[in-house]
Amino acid sequence: MGKGKAIWILFALMVIAQLAIPALMIKGQEDVLQNGKEFKFNTEPVDPYDLMRGKYVTLRFSENRARATTEIQKGDLVYITIGKDDQGYAFLKDVLKELPLSEEDYLELTLNNYINRHNDSIDVHLPFDRFYMEESKAELAEDLYRESIQSVQNESCAVVMIKDGQAVLKDILIDGVPIKEAVEAIQAEIGE
Amino acid sequence: MSLRQDITELLSEGVIDERTASDIHRYFASKTGSRKEERLYSVFGIIGSLLVGLGIILIVAHNWDNLGRSIRTFFAFLPLLIGQVAVGYTLARQKESTAWREGSAIFIFLAIGTSISLVSQIYNIPGNISSFVVTWMLLALPLVYLIPSSMVSLLYLVGITYFGTQTDYLGNGRELDLRYWALLIGIIPHYSSLIAERPVGNFAGLHHWLIPISLTIMLGSFAQQHEIVMFPAFVCLFAIFYFIGTSSHFKGRHPLANAYLPIGALGTIGILMAFTFRGMWKEVLSDSINMDGLILAPETMLLTILLVIAVILFVKRNRNRPPAEMRPLEVVFLLFTLLFFIGLTSSLVVIAMNFLVLIIGILTIRYGAIRDHLGILNYGLLVITVLIICRFVDTDLSFVARGIMFVIVGLGFFLTNYLTLKKRKSHGQG
């Protein structure tokens, strides 16, 4: 095989690899978004800035504690079963080291952070904690968020699609309204 | 210049006439001119490409949430597709042009990062920055050999060094992470080919800087449960750098043509100087040595490997040389390692360390004086000056005593420089 031919073959393989990686990322996410089950997680707010990835709203979840009766260590791959309360919000149930045998919905996670133990429960760092927004909207979104959290009737939540342990953050609702619409309404009011 | 002389000689011997001589002059002048132009074009091509690529990255930071997901996904792939077309065109038609090769390579390098980054934004994908960087680097690595591109090799090196520092650096008892070292192997063949084919080129020079800097930063990642072993390990690494920096490959070139020599020399003196302080020994010994697993610890294995390499280089360098020719920095790694481990049990070693630095300074001055090299001579004086300043800070001498010592060292500077210059002048006249 001539050197020229080898170069073109290497080029073709490189192109396929470079297109395949983002494509596989997309395929996985789209599958969960289209075919997953919807859960609403109650949230609390924060906000940093990631230059490489655009501005995002960082979420903290009020229901992030799960029962862990077995020995759990940092770095372990675990399966956390999820339930829904009377108001339809999701909560974490048990931390398991193997796939749940029942038909229960679950999240598959690697516990990368320090394990904060409270008797027979641990705090879990939920992975869907970033919601990307256009720069001009992110800060306003953050303010809306905080106001909503501090009000008595806190109905801010993250809408998450879950399928086979994989989760995709779909939206944030501020008092039932998608955050993007809530921010656009405010922007329209102040004439931005 | 020699061409001009040759033409003059041929003209005077009647081998060529005036017209032929001026034709030859004109031909070579245009060639040099067009070579310079092409180099300028290459530089501007590279800068332009970097700016365009970075501009696109900044646009990435501005989310496009008004567009539907599929349109945003299309835009996510667009820079990558453009980059791939540019690389394809370069391979087909512009292989000889450095501007096209490096320009298209840098563009697609930045486009890969942009694509992954945009897709992560569009789908709110969590994931740490280090996995993002390593995926990016691995997808970009083929460009180094395909095009080939030395700029991507340098960017790759920066990327993997960043990745390396984000993983379990200065470990917390977790397992040693060797991924950076595995990734580094990716550009070694390219580095070797640069040294073999274009040893005095700019790209080789840039690699000669970035690689030792990256290695120096990443050596620290071996520190796990037995961090103190890293001190002699670093001194051995700096000795290896020193041997590389003073090898025949770099002979006759500017000392700053590579980072091996400055890092090797300054790094060694820096660590030695730190260990001339009693306080440093106290600090090191305050964490009592963890003998548990010391023999098989990664730090010990690393020290062993580096020591063996340094000894091999030392033997190769000094095998056929008289002992008088031996440079102090070529042997100090052995002395330091020995003193270091003795020092863990005896506090008198700090005195020996001070003498070691003093001797290095004196021998360097002597070497500079013999070779008539003011730079080396003054470097030796600087080592001694820094040592004295350190002792001033460290001890309780009176101001008068310190003043006298400063005057002595200052006079030493003047005298040695004066005598060397005088010797030069008298040789010139003689």
Q: pLDDT tens digit string along B284-295?
A: 776 656 667 777
Per-residue model confidence (pLDDT) at position A100: 87
Nearest CA to B140 among B117, B108, B97? B108
Question: Average pLDDT of chain B?
Answer: 85
User: Quick one: pLDDT at residue B173?
Assistant: 46
Contact state of A51 with B61 under an 8 Å Cβ cutoff: yes
Chain B residues at the A interface, defined by Cβ less than 8 Å, are 57, 60-66, 73, 76-77, 80, 84, 87-88, 91, 108, 112-113, 115-117, 119-126, 129, 132, 135, 139, 142-143, 145-146
- State the pLDDT at residue A150: 61
Within 8 A of B57 by CB-CB distance, chain A residues are 52
Q: Could you report the per-residue pLDDT of B135-181, keeping only the tens digit for each? A: 999 999 999 999 999 999 999 999 999 998 887 554 444 567 788 99
List of chain A residues whose C-beta atoms are within 8 Å of the C-beta of residue B61: 51-55, 135
- B226 backbone dihedrals φ, ψ, rounded to 5°: -130, 60
Q: Is A40 on the interface with B (CB under 8 A)?
A: no
Q: Among A61-65, A108-112, B396-400, whose mean pLDDT is lowest?
A: B396-400
Residue B66: the pLDDT is 62
- Write the pLDDT tens digit of every residue in B86-98: 999 999 998 888 8
Beta pairing class for A130-132 and A157-163: unpaired
In this predicted structure, the answer to whether residue B1 has a pLDDT above a threshold of 60 is: no
Closest by CA to B307, choosing from B282, B285, B335, is B335
pLDDT digits 0-9 by tens, A87-104: 889 999 999 988 888 888
pLDDT band at B33, cuts 50/70/90?
low
pLDDT in tens, A141-165: 667 766 665 654 446 789 999 999 9
pLDDT surpassing 80 at residue B300: yes
Q: Is residue A52 predicted with pLDDT exceeding 50?
A: no
Cβ distance B125 to A29 less than 8 Å, yes or no, reads: yes
Q: Which has more confidence, B57 or A47?
A: B57
Ranked by mean pLDDT, the top range of B8-17, B149-158, B293-302, B418-427 is B149-158
pLDDT, position B430: 46
Q: Which of A172-181, B351-360, B385-394, B412-421 has the highest mean pLDDT?
A: B351-360
Query: pTM of the entire structure?
Result: 0.80
Give the closest of B80, B126, B146 to A128, CB-based: B126
Q: Which site among B73, B90, B123 would you substitute to test the A interface, given the most A Cβ atoms closer than 10 Å to its Cβ?
A: B123
Of residues B255 and B197, the one with the higher pLDDT is: B197
Buried b (16+ CB within 10 A) or exposed e, B178-201: eebeebbebbeebbeebeeeeeee
Residue A175 confidence (pLDDT): 79
| pLDDT class of A50 with cuts at 50, 70, 90 | very low
Q: Which of A129-133, B28-32, B251-255 has the lowest mean pLDDT?
A: B28-32
Given this model, what pLDDT does residue A41 score? 92
CB contact under 8 A, B125 and A13: no
Helix or strand (DSSP H, E) at A146: helix A135-150
Tokens representing A34? 């289209």
Contact criterion met (CB < 8 Å) for A25 and B120? yes
Does residue A53 carry a pLDDT above 50?
Answer: no
* Å between B141 CA and nearest CA of chain A: 9
Q: Which of A8, A26, A160 to mutate to test the interface with B (most CBs of B within 10 A)?
A: A26
Write out pLDDT tens, residues B205-250.
999 999 999 999 999 888 877 888 899 999 999 999 999 999 988 8
Contact A134 B63 (CB under 8 A): yes
C-beta atoms of B142 and A133 within 8 A: no
B127 to chain A: closest CA residue = A127
Q: Residue B63: its chain A contacts at CB < 8 A?
A: 54-55, 132-135, 137-138
Q: Which helix (H) or strand (E) holds A108?
A: strand A106-110
The stretch A22-26 carries a mean pLDDT of 91
Contacts of A55 in chain B (CB under 8 A): 61, 63
Report which of residues B251 and B332 the model is more confident about.
B332
Give the pLDDT score at B65: 60
| Residues of chain A found within 8 Å of residue B143, distances taken between Cβ atoms | 14
